[in-house]
């Protein structure tokens, strides 16, 4: 399928479409492209192949017993960012570790400027994304419950029935009902029935970091099928170091890479030539590659005439609490499943702007065994067990709200010249920053959410055990923001670089804002829409 | 490139005694002293055996699971077994000063020795067993972190972190069967 020829210095691999990165977005884009048209597709992944499903049960056993990493060599020494960035550079990317939580963004997330006068609108509306959300749900397999249609609009039903509420969550739902909050089963990329040739979830409860039975979707399943069909060539252990623009035009001519497993410490050079290049390397490594691709002709890196590559890095913070409730709960029934609502996505225009999701889990916080009693005496034998039982007659709920953070232009990924990898390339530095309007709203937002938690606790005759704010931006995205205006964005809504007609960036890096919910499904919907344009090339 | 170990190698590592574990008779006597009588003699023996297997399978310095959102790669702690073995020997030596080995002391006197050893430990929680500073605390922490301990506390068959039918999660867990499980 692939033309391979030796040159004097660098191996050359040619294809129609070269996809850089093999995470969840790359997997679904490749799968869609393969279905839509005949094309030679090569996927380049810096990391190794991942741990096969057949070995995950044993790896999980050691994770549960000792806390060992279940993923083997899932990272590359020297390839790391300064700032929030999970270490997962392998076939399948970060979604080998993910929890499989797959809510959609709400329609309002795409229109915050038009509706509420804050932040920026996306160049694509929820209604346009709805069929691609459904396509993503179908491809990875999402089990979900239809929420109230006014809050949770969708054009098609979920491909699988919802993960059922546990006994605990049913009790907690009665509690949130009493507080006037409509909640439902969190959509998840976990099989509630056999789906995609994979097993039904059996509540091992270690979805993150590892599902031992394959009930949770992970991108290796898609890659295994694509590789077996010989319709995609995946080249692992090969790090793309820069994209090179063709002389006399703005087209990308090649991706220069190094095979890490050949050629000793310096690796073996390899050039990928293609008609179309798709950068699908996630929020950190996508803008990083564009910035690394600087040259005399493009001193700011490629696709960066606007100066926007690496800018507007985005995400969301959360406020959390643990609420003691007079309920007999049984921690451990399915700790990773939760209730969710979108009731707080639509603030009144008369109120000061606050938008957030809300989730509720069972919890064992405040209910764990301890060594000493209230009098400070060491508890042994039956006394320790009796003490634990006495403190476990009531339950604890974990509540958490992701709230909207509007990114600043200088919320940025830059090249850190003081930290270089084995090949001499500077590594990324990530600095997240709220826009001034978001910073001004922060205290009000967090106080409002804490007040909601207090109101919920009172409705259940409970009390807050503790609450706090996780002071980092979760589900990071951005850095190659999409937009209609080439002066203020890197790519158009189809992921095509404004500056290079045969270069696409897909998924998370193209996000305009982080929304108020886990963002992977949105990244996928956006990427599948972008794949329609790539497929027309 | 580091080779990923296959399941056979991993399970073999868990199952093969390393000869580095503390003395079996002493650890059984410790288990009899600190674990709940409610477990029954068989239950205590099982819990102690599981603790032994867990110790035997430990791989000091192995790469720890790396958390979400951090670039830091950590390693599991150094081998705690030499220290735990010394502590068991110290308990036995203390007992012998009263004229009998630790395993021959009445349960209350064994408990008194353990209480003295744990007097300065943090009381509001049990630690990660790998980080327990005393073998008695490690044994307690290992047992109370188990699905069996949770079931015993709640007197219900929850089966935490074990493969269970998804549909059954709708129902309240059934009561634990006493002395028959």
Is the bond preceding A219 in cis, omega lying within 30 degrees of 0? no
Q: What is the 3-state secondary structure (H, E, C) of A409-453?
A: CCCEEEEEEEEECCCCCEEEEEECCECHHHHHHHHHHHHHHHHHH
Same domain, B53 and B82: yes
Mutate which: B3, B13, B123, vs A, most A CBs within 10 A: B123
Q: Is residue B69 part of a domain?
A: no
Q: How far apart are CA A115 and CA A121, in angstroms?
A: 9
In Å, how far are A76, A307, A491, B84, B135 from B89, measured between CA atoms?
44, 68, 68, 9, 11
Residues B157 and B169 in one domain: yes
Q: What is the C-alpha to C-alpha distance for residues A425 and B19, in angstroms, rounded to an integer?
A: 47
Buried b (16+ CB within 10 A) or exposed e, A322-334: bbbbebebbbbbb
Provide the 10 A C-beta neighbour count for residue B17: 12
Output DSSP code: residue A78: T
Chain A partners within 8 Å of B156 (Cβ): 330
CB contact under 8 A, A202 and B165: yes
Q: Which two tokens stand for residue B84?
A: 């735990």
Tell me how far apart the alpha carbons of residues A348 and A447 are, in angstroms, rounded to a whole number.
17
- Whether B124 and B45 share a structural domain: yes
CA atoms of B3 and A55, how far apart (whole Å): 13
The owner of tokens 């059996």 is A202
Above 80 in pLDDT, residue A466? yes
Instruction: Indicate whether B173 and B113 sit together in one domain.
Output: no
Domain assignment of residue B89, yes or no: yes
Structure confidence at residue B117 (pLDDT): 98
Contact B170 A81 (CB under 8 A): no
Q: Is residue B153 part of a domain?
A: yes
Tokens standing for residue A473: 């931006």
Q: A-chain residues within 8 Å CB-CB of B160?
A: 205, 331-333
Q: Which two tokens stand for residue A241?
A: 């170091």
**Rounded CA separation A94/A286 (Å):** 14
Which of A503, A532, A526 lies closest to A513 in space, CA to CA?
A526
pLDDT digits (tens, 9 = 90+) for B120-131: 999 999 999 999
CA gyration radius, chain A: 24
pLDDT of residue A48: 97
Domain match, B179 and B100 both: no
Q: Which of B179, B18, B114 is nearest to A378 (CA)?
A: B114
Identify from A48, A49, A51, A58 which residue to disrupt to test chain B contact, counting B C-beta atoms within 10 A and taking the largest count.
Answer: A58
- Asked if residues A187 and A176 have their Cβ atoms less than 8 Å apart, the reply is no
User: Which A-chain residues 31-50 have CB contacts (< 8 A) with chain B?
Assistant: 48
Residues B38 and B114 grouped into a single domain:
yes
User: Can you tell me the distance from the alpha carbon of A306 to that of A287, in angstroms, rounded to the nearest whole number?
Assistant: 13
Same domain, B165 and B111: no
- Are residues B113 and B127 both part of a single domain? yes
Write out the H or E segment, with its range, that includes residue B41: helix B40-56
Decide if A69 contacts A63 (C-beta within 8 A): yes
Calculate helix-pair angle for B147-154, A382-390, nearest 10 degrees.
70
Q: Confidence class of residue A66 from pLDDT cuts 50, 70 and 90?
A: very high
Q: What is the pLDDT of residues B32-49, one digit of tens each?
A: 999 999 999 999 999 999
Lowest-confidence range among A359-363, A460-464, B18-22, B74-78?
B18-22
Q: What is the CA angle A381-A384-A388, rounded to 5?
A: 145
Of the candidate CATH numbers 3.40.50.720, 3.30.70.890, 3.40.1280.10, 3.50.50.60, the domain formed by A3-535 belongs to 3.50.50.60
For chain B, what is the domain count?
2
Instruction: Tell me the residue range of the domain where B12 lies.
Output: 7-60+77-145
B20 pLDDT exceeds 90? Answer: no
Please tell me whether residues B21 and B95 are part of one structural domain: yes
CB–CB contact B59 A384 (8 Å)? no
Asked whether residue B179 is assigned to any structural domain, the reply reads yes
In chain A, what are the domain boundaries?
3-535
A314-325 sheet: strands from edge to edge: A184-185, A339-341, A358-363, A395-404, A314-325, A463-477
Mean pLDDT (whole number) for A11-18: 98
- Domain-embedded: residue B175: yes
Q: Does A206 touch chain B if contact means CB atoms closer than 8 Å?
A: yes
Q: Which residues contact B112 (CB under 8 A, 6 or more apart)?
A: none
* Residue A188 touches chain B, beta carbons under 8 Å: no
d(CA B69, CA B65): 12
Q: What is the mean pLDDT of residues B52-57?
A: 96
Q: What value does the mean pLDDT of chain A take?
A: 96
Sign of the CA dihedral running A513, A519, A523, A529:
negative
* Pair (B29, B112) in one structural domain: yes
Share of chain A above pLDDT 90, in %: 94
Question: Between chains, do A66 and B14 touch, taking CB under 8 Å as contact?
Answer: no
Q: Are residues B32 and B89 in the same domain?
A: yes
C-beta of residue A320 within 8 angstroms of C-beta of residue A446: no
pLDDT for the residue B181: 41
Domain match, B55 and B123 both: yes
pLDDT at B14 over 90: no
Residue A5 has pLDDT above 70, yes or no: no
């Amino acid at each position: 399928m692939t033309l391979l020829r030796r040159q004097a210095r660098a191996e050359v691999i040619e294809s129609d479409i070269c996809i850089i990165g093999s995470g969840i977005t790359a997997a679904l884009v490749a799968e869609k492209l393969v279905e839509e048209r005949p094309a030679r597709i090569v996927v380049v992944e810096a990391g190794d192949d991942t741990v096969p499903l057949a070995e995950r049960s044993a790896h999980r056993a050691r994770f549960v017993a000792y806390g060992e990493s279940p993923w083997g060599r899932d990272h590359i020494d020297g390839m790391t960012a300064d700032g929030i960035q999970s270490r997962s550079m392998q076939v399948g990317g970060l979604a080998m570790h993910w929890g499989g939580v797959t809510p959609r963004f709400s329609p309002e997330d795409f229109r915050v400027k038009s509706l509420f006068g804050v932040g920026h609108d996306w160049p694509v509306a929820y209604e346009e994304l709805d069929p691609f959300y459904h396509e993503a749900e179908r491809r990875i397999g999402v089990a979900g419950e239809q929420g109230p249609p006014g809050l949770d609009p969708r054009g098609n039903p979920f491909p699988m029935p919802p993960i059922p509420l546990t006994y605990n969550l049913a009790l907690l739902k009665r509690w949130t009902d009493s507080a006037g909050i409509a909640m439902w089963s969190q959509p998840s990329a976990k099989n509630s029935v056999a789906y995609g040739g994979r097993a039904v979830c059996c509540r091992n409860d270690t979805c993150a970091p590892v599902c031992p039975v394959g009930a949770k979707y992970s991108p290796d399943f898609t890659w295994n099928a694509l590789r077996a069909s010989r319709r995609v060539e995946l080249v692992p252990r090969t790090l793309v170091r820069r994209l090179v623009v063709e002389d006399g035009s703005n087209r990308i001519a090649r991706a220069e890479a190094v095979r890490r497993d050949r050629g000793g410490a310096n690796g073996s050079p390899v050039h990928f030539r293609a008609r179309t290049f798709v950068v699908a390397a996630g929020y950190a490594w996508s803008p990083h590659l564009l910035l690394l691709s600087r040259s005399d002709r493009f001193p700011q890196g490629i696709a960066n005439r606007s100066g926007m590559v690496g800018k507007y890095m985005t995400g969301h913070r959360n406020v959390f609490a643990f609420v003691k409730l007079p309920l007999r709960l049984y921690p451990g029934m399915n700790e990773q499943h939760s209730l969710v609502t979108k009731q707080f996505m639509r603030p009144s225009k008369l109120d000061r702007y606050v938008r957030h999701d809300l989730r509720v889990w069972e919890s064992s916080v405040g209910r764990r065994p301890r060594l000493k009693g209230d009098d400070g005496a060491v508890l042994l034998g039956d006394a320790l067990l009796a003490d634990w039982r006495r403190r476990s007659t009531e339950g604890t709920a974990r509540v958490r709200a992701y709230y909207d953070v509007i990114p600043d232009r200088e919320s940025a990924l830059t090249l850190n010249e003081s930290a270089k990898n084995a090949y001499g390339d500077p590594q990324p530095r990530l600095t997240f920053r709220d826009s001034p309007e978001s910073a001004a709203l922060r205290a009000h937002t967090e106080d409002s959410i804490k007040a909601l938690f207090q109101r919920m606790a009172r409705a259940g005759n409970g009390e807050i055990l503790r609450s706090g704010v996780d002071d980092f931006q979760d589900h990071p995205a951005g850095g190659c923001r999409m937009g209609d205006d080439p002066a203020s964005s890197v790519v158009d809504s189809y992921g095509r670089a404004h500056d290079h007609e045969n270069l696409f960036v897909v998924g998370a890096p193209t996000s305009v804002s982080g929304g108020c919910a886990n963002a992977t499904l949105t990244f996928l919907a956006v990427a599948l829409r972008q794949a329609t344009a790539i497929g027309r090339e | 490139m580091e080779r990923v170990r296959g399941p056979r190698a991993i399970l073999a590592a868990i199952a093969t005694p390393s000869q580095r574990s503390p003395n079996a008779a002493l650890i059984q006597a410790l288990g009899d002293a600190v674990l709940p009588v409610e477990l029954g003699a068989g239950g205590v023996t099982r819990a102690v055996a599981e603790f032994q297997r867990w110790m035997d399978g430990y791989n000091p310095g192995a790469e720890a699971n790396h958390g979400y959102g951090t670039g830091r790669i950590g390693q599991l702690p150094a081998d705690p077994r030499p220290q735990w073995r010394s502590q068991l020997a110290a308990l036995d030596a203390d007992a012998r000063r009263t004229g009998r080995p630790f395993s021959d002391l009445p349960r209350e006197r064994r408990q008194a020795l353990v209480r003295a050893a744990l007097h300065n430990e943090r009381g509001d929680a049990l630690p990660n067993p790998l980080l327990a500073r005393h073998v008695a605390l490690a044994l307690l922490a290992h047992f109370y972190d188990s699905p069996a301990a949770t079931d015993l506390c709640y007197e219900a068959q929850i089966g935490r972190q074990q493969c269970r039918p998804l549909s059954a999660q709708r129902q309240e867990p059934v009561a634990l069967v006493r002395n028959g499980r």
